Every structure is written in structure tokens, then in C-alpha cells.
Structure 1
Amino acid sequence: MSAETATIERLGLQGDGIVSSPSGPVFVPFTLPGERVTMAVNKQQGTVMSLLAPSPDRVAPACRHFGPEGENGTCGGCTLQHAGDDLYHAFKRQIVIDALRSRGIETEVAPLIIARPGERRRTVFTARRTEKELLLGYNQAESHHIVSITECPIASPGIVSRLAAIRIIAAALAASAEPFRITVLETTTGLDLAAEGIKALSDRHRQQAIEAVLKLRGIARLAVNGETIVEPLKPLITFDGIAVSPPPGGFAQASAVAETAMAELVMTHLGKAKRIADLFAGTGTFALRMARKGRVHAVESEEKALKALDLAARNTQGLKPVSIEKRDLFRRPMMTSELKVYDAVVFDPPRAGAEAQCRELACSTVKTIVAISCNPQTLARDLSILIEGGYRVTKVTPVDQFLWSSHVEAVATLTR
């Protein structure tokens, strides 16, 4: 390990400052472009020893747990609380621009749809019992160390105000010192808690957890490893006023504000489309909204999510017909011959993207496509396939729903 003085050149994809060296880039967390630092260097990792010249874009962190001076350690939940809004927003948008350019795609990239503190309705905590206490928080970056939190400015007030209750329930579940995860989703009826990674839940710990949930207010459901343990109220989230009860631990957009913004982009681009395929449909984030204006065929590999979508569609008056299909689109994408009956296709795949499906879409006659992605790199690859097939990208809109992180969503609209 050596000590060096250097100027931070730029931000990397993970939000770390980067310094060039003869052996390659050195990544320096919690720094900003233009800052002069003395750092300890170990291979490609730099640790700031002294900040000699701070950037004018540097701001005070919003959370006591953030950064090297964070309480209880360096929380891994955020990486960019020290960056001012202008720099931070430009960084997020540039990630999308750079990903598109890496594939030779030049198109309009709209301003970033920004995220604000307190908008996250879904977050994942790590919990572990120690001899002294129950730790509940986020893992330190690249570490198994849990930073036990007492506040979280990115999470909704409904989650933050119940941190003590979540801690009590986690303590009731913790039979050993093994860490486990708790996904927390704020719903209209209370918090939906889904614990994963508990190897064996004894009858005693199950009963302790049930009693804790029933005693505490504001908890709609507790599930462990996908099994509902207790459900005082059915958890509900709404998509444009349509109520859906998601499966335990099921996927939901992290921010309702970001979800609404993305849905508005989707609906606007669909125009007067009457037959729409929603691929990787989940619990109906877009499918149920689209069913207000046209017939929708929703395709999803997760059976529980698909059943939740189907039930919501059947119980909502005024929707156009919604058909469902359980199908692994990675292994068995919808074929060109199947796609010919649709005016529009919307797809929102996991981080791996939808390469196989896009190869079929590229040969189709579908006029309108909307691609939603949480990974700009795989989005750019998928768009390049569609462009080769004759589609034109009309706009890409970056969306921030993971505040102060390096993750950015994007919505791309295409026409033939």
C-alpha cells in the first residue's frame, strides 16, 4: 500500500472518483471530479486520507450513516450523498448517454426524472443477531459488516417511522447469528415484510414473530422464505387506482413516484394502440394501466405475480380484456408470428435485458415499442438489435428512483 496525492478526474459507473495510473484506473469512493486528495492506494482501490481541495459541488451528506465518518460504519445504501444536485443529476443522465453511444446510438436523451428524499417505498435490509443487540440496516460496500441504522433519508416516512417495529420482528425471527434479509414494501394497508435466508424457523420463533406483528401497528403481512406467517391485513398497492395484492417479496418498483412517471411515458407513446403485449409483466405495473385503453396480453414467468395481476384485472370494472400467459421469455420469447396481432409491445425485463425477445421483435411488424430498463448497458444492446431491424428510437428518458446511488432506469420509445 502506498500514499499518493492526485486530482480526481471523473466519476465511474459505480459513483467512485477515478484517478488514472500507469497500472490502470484507481477508484476512490466518496470523492468528486476536480478534488485534490491524498490517498492510500492498494492495487486499484484508493482510500482518502486527506481532502486537500474540495469540489464546489460537494455538499454535506443528508444522513449520519453515510461515508467514511458514518455512524456505526460506512453504510452501503448510498454512494453519492456528497454530490450536489447538478453534478449528481448530470452523472445519472450521462450513464444513459454513454451506454447508448457505446452502441453507436445517437438519439434524444431527455432530462433526468429526479428522485427526492423519502420516496422509496421498497427497500431491503440485512439483519443479524449479536450477543448485544439485533443489527438492522445495510451492508457496508463490499463487506459483510452491517451498518445498523437509526434513520434513512431515502426511505419513505412510513418505513422510517417503523424501523423500531421492524427491528422487533427481526429479533423475534433471529434464531442464530446468521444474517438474513428483510424486504420492506410500504403498501396502502401497512408494511409488507418478507424475510429471506432464515434456514429453519422453529415453532417458538414463528409464534414470537406472529405475536410481535399482531401487537405492533402498521404491519400488513409477514412472510418467511415465501411463506406467509401472519397477515393482519391484505397488503395492497395501486396502479392508477387499480388495487393489487403482490406476492410475498415480489417485485415492485422502488418508488411510486418514479413508477407513475414511467407509466405516463408508456401511456403517451402507446397512443391509440388497441392490442398490446406486455412482456415481463410482473404484477401488472403497466398492463393494468394499459387495460384502461386497450386489450392486453400479459406475459410473465413468475406464477404468483401473474395470479396477482389476473385477480386484480378480474376484480376491476371498466377494463378492456386482459389475458395472461406464464412463459419464460429468456428461453421461449414470443415469436414473430405471434407478435403480428399486436399494435404495440411494452417490455420491462430484469437487468439481463431482453436480447432473445428483441431479436424476434426486430423481425416483427409491431409499429410501437416501449422498452423499460434498470440497466442502461443491456438496454443499449437491445435497442441496437431493434434499430438493425428497422425501428427508430424517438426518445430515451432516464429515471432516478434509487436516490444517491449509481443505478438509473430508462424508458425508450420506438416506432417502425
Structure 2
Amino acid sequence: MKLTIERLGHLGDGIAEGPIFVPMTLPGEVVEGDIEGDQMLSPRILTPSPDRVRAPCPHFKACGGCLMQHTSDGFVAVWKQDIVRTALKAQGIETVFREIQTSPPQSRRRASLSGTRTKKGATVGFHGRASGTIVPIPACKLLHPDLMAAIPALEQLTVTGGSRKGEISFSVTRSAEGLDVLATAGKPLDGSLRIELAAMAERFGLARLEWDGELVAQHMPPAQRFGKASVVPPPGAFLQATEQGEAALLAAVVEIVGDARRVADLFAGCGTFALPLAAKAEVLAIESEAPMVAALDHGWRMASGLKRVMTETRDLFRRPLYPDELKRFDAVVIDPPRAGAEAQIEQLARSSVPVIAAVSCNPVTFGRDARILLDAGYALNWVQVVDQFRWSSHVELVASFSKDQRANR
């Protein structure tokens, strides 16, 4: 059957009339293939889009790590901006969009990889597209070269500590001191395995190796730099995917906060925003995970030239910051997980905080939360889309909200 692709879905699949979902296609393309249910799984491109390009990575068709290498950077930039526009339009919201900030190839500093034992050794890589098969990625164009250099170490860890029947998962993060590796679903630790793994960590120069929640080796604390502070996140802790993406998000947040003297950073993590902001403002950093709060606090205490940073371990979903607690702040930064922060946003909407810097990784929940703020008298001044998950359907953004304080008098 022949079909014409009408648009892209938010997950990157082409959509034809029906709807029929067609992977790795672009609007305007004419495709042919067999249809199973609502999908054409193996399309033949009869009329290619002018935006179609040759994928830079030889693993693209098999690997599930990237979705959009078959199209131009310009097309992806417009598409990602439109994902956010569409989410806002669904809430009746229009605003100014700044130029998208996109991280370059080979810049991902953290990744989740899988490993499995084979007869000849081990395979480490990403899962295949819509498959449980692990695809090796020796020529990956996504990961930072330091992460690529870690694959031999991960293969050896898989051979030594992986089960013959299952997969082992690795969370790998680049730091100035070396790689921070968190392994899960490996063999249970015993004395001999611990010794073998520790020796491997030393041989491959890993900064830290944690095995199913137990620290096996730490050659050097794997620190991350947040402004003037050096922070050692707990194993597996959240970190922005690229240095360039973090810098773009931070620059937008700093601009929104401006000259605020007292700032609340909600869902603060290990201090991505709180610690740089402390160069000019007193900050209250709130995070639900106690180990991340401890890392942030230690980083602040060891730094010099920063204003006071207070920390609090608090579940903002169940116990949001209320208006009487918010009234002492000149600005709020909020960076919730994908579910958004409806309970906290409702309290912010009732508050007198003049400026809000909202960071989001989900345009749909951001649109919902933005609608709540706008209905309470806030203005959405602009949105900055940041694409640090290159060649994926993932979108991040920063938004500037403000409230005219005369309306509260």
C-alpha cells in the first residue's frame, strides 16, 4: 500500500491518514509497504523529503538510541519548537520563542547502557529499535568520547559480574576525575567478586564503581562543577545530559532570576542552579532525595565566595512550599520531573513571588502548569527550548514568568 506522510508525532514517527504510524519517515514523503494494525514497520521511501539526510551513524537503523538522524538539524529544531508550541496551544497559550539551543554530536556525558555475556565475551550497547536485542555501538555519534572509551571496561565488568541468563545495566557518567559507573542487575557481591571488580576499576581508571547499591571502588570522588562549587553526586543521581545543555538552561535561569537577593530552588537536585545562583543571592534549595541534598550542602560548604545556601529535604508533591513560606523570596526556580509539579504550581499561583524560572522536560505537563500560573495573573514572557538529547524526541525548556506586584496591592 502507498501512503503519504502528513505529519510527525511527538515520538518521531511519521503519521499518514488512518492514522497509520510509519517509523523513520518525514512529512510529504510517499512510502510503500505492508500494514500491520496501525503501523507500516518496513516502509520503502518512494518520494523522499528534501529534509531527509544520510544518517551520520552506521548503527542508526538497528540501534534504538537515536530516532531522528535521518533528517536535517534545521527540521529537527523546528519540529521540537513546534512540540512545545502545540502543547501550549492546547492550553490556549501563545508566547515568544527564543532560538533553540542544540547540543553538538558526541557531547552526551551520561548514558544508560546494557551488557550481556556471549560465548566470546560480552556485548555492551543500546537496545535495538523496538527490540530487546543489545546493539554494539563502536562508532556512536551521540556519546562523548570519554564514554565511548569506557566500553571495554563495561565489557569486562559484564564478563566478570554479569549473569549468563540476564542483562546487566550500567549508568555511566563523565566527570573530571574519570568515569562514574553504577551497575545494576549483576551477580550478588561476595568477597572474591568484590576483589575482582575493584581491580578492574583500578585497571581501567574508573573514578567510582558502585555495584547494586554497594560501593566497590572509589579511586577519586567523581565531582561535577556547579558554578564555584565542586559537588560529588551520589551514584546514579540526576545530571543534565550535556555540558552545553546545562549551560544553556543555566544562562536562561540566571537571566530570569536577575538581581533577586533571595531565591528558592525547588527540585534542586545536587545544585545545578542553586549553587551558581548563590554567587549573587541567598538560596533555599529543596530536594526530596536526602543524598543529593547532602551532596549539594557539602559542595556549598567547601566552596568560597558564595552567599548562604540553605537546604531542606522535602517531598514537594506531598508537601509543597505554601504562600506564607514563599513570600520571603524574590524569585523561584522550579525544575520538576516529567510529571510536572501541579501541587507546587498551585501554591506558587497563590503566592506573591514576582519572578518564576520554570524548567521542564515535558511540554504537556509544562503547558498544564503554565495555564495555572497564567490564570492566577502571571505573564509568560518567553520560552527557550533546549535540545540536549540530540536526535531524540526529548524536549527541554526554560520559561520566564512574572507577576505585576501592583496587582497584589
Sort the TM-score into its range (normalised by shorter chain).
over 0.9
What does 1:257-296 correspond to in 2, within 5 Å?
257-296=244-283
Compare 32-41 and 272-281 and name the one that shifted more.
32-41
Deviation at 1:18, TM superposition (A): 0.7
In structure 2, C-alpha distance between the alignment counterparts of 1:132 and 1:28, rounded to whole Å: 37
SS in 1 for 2:35: strand
| RMSD value, Cα | 1.2
What does 1:60-79 correspond to in 2, within 5 Å?
60-67=54-61, 74-79=62-67
SS in 2 for 1:361: helix
SS in 1 for 2:25: coil
Deviation at 1:386, TM superposition (A): 0.8
Q: Does residue 244 of the first structure (1) align with residue 235 of the second (2)? A: no
Q: Does residue 346 of the first structure (1) align with residue 330 of the second (2)? A: no
In structure 2, C-alpha distance between the alignment counterparts of 1:51 and 1:304, rounded to whole Å: 51
Contact residue 361 and residue 394 of structure 2 kept, 8 A: yes
Which residue pairs with 1:58 in the alignment? 52
In structure 2, C-alpha distance between the alignment counterparts of 1:304 and 1:126, rounded to whole Å: 25
Which residue pairs with 2:35 in the alignment? 41
In structure 2, C-alpha distance between the alignment counterparts of 1:379 and 1:273, rounded to whole Å: 24
One-letter amino acid matched to 2:86: D
In structure 2, C-alpha distance between the alignment counterparts of 1:376 and 1:203, rounded to whole Å: 48
Q: Does residue 220 of the first structure (1) align with residue 217 of the second (2)? A: no
Contact residue 22 and residue 43 of structure 2 kept, 8 A: no
Which residue pairs with 1:333 in the alignment? 320
Deviation at 1:153, TM superposition (A): 0.8
Deviation at 1:199, TM superposition (A): 6.0
Deviation at 1:236, TM superposition (A): 0.8
Contact residue 376 and residue 408 of structure 1 kept, 8 A: yes
* Percent identity of equivalent pairs: 43
Q: Which ranges of structure 2 fall in alignment gaps of 5 or more residues?
A: 404-409
Q: Does residue 19 of the first structure (1) align with residue 13 of the second (2)? A: no
Q: Does residue 186 of the first structure (1) align with residue 183 of the second (2)? A: no
In structure 2, C-alpha distance between the alignment counterparts of 1:240 and 1:321, rounded to whole Å: 14
One-letter amino acid matched to 2:12: G
What does 1:9-408 correspond to in 2, within 5 Å?
9-21=6-18, 25-67=19-61, 74-198=62-186, 200-217=188-205, 219-408=206-395
Deviation at 1:272, TM superposition (A): 1.0
Contact residue 229 and residue 302 of structure 2 kept, 8 A: no
Deviation at 1:404, TM superposition (A): 0.2
Contact residue 147 and residue 174 of structure 2 kept, 8 A: yes
In structure 1, C-alpha distance between the alignment counterparts of 2:341 and 2:43, rounded to whole Å: 43
Provide, for residues 218-256 of structure 1, a one-character-per-residue CA deviation record: whole Å limited to 9, x for no partner. Answer: x10111223211011110111124211110111100111
In structure 2, C-alpha distance between the alignment counterparts of 1:143 and 1:226, rounded to whole Å: 28
Compare 390-399 and 169-178 and name the one that shifted more.
169-178
SS in 1 for 2:82: helix
Deviation at 1:281, TM superposition (A): 0.3
SS in 2 for 1:403: coil
Deviation at 1:131, TM superposition (A): 3.2
Deviation at 1:166, TM superposition (A): 2.4
Contact residue 175 and residue 201 of structure 1 kept, 8 A: no
SS in 2 for 1:246: coil
In structure 1, C-alpha distance between the alignment counterparts of 2:39 and 2:283, rounded to whole Å: 49
Contact residue 120 and residue 254 of structure 1 kept, 8 A: yes
One-letter amino acid matched to 1:194: L
Provide, for residues 151-197 of structure 1, a one-character-per-residue CA deviation record: whole Å limited to 9, x for no partner. Answer: 22111111112322222223222133211210110001001001123
SS in 1 for 2:15: strand
Contact residue 9 and residue 19 of structure 1 kept, 8 A: yes
Q: TM-score by structure 1 length? A: 0.94
In structure 1, C-alpha distance between the alignment counterparts of 2:76 and 2:10, rounded to whole Å: 12
Q: Which ranges of structure 1 fall in alignment gaps of 5 or more residues?
A: 68-73
Q: TM-score by structure 2 length? A: 0.96
In structure 2, C-alpha distance between the alignment counterparts of 1:399 and 1:164, rounded to whole Å: 32
User: Structure 2 vs 1, CA of residues 175 and 204 (structure 1 numbering), >3 Å: closer, same or farther?
Assistant: farther
Which residue pairs with 1:71 in the alignment? none
In structure 2, C-alpha distance between the alignment counterparts of 1:230 and 1:246, rounded to whole Å: 15
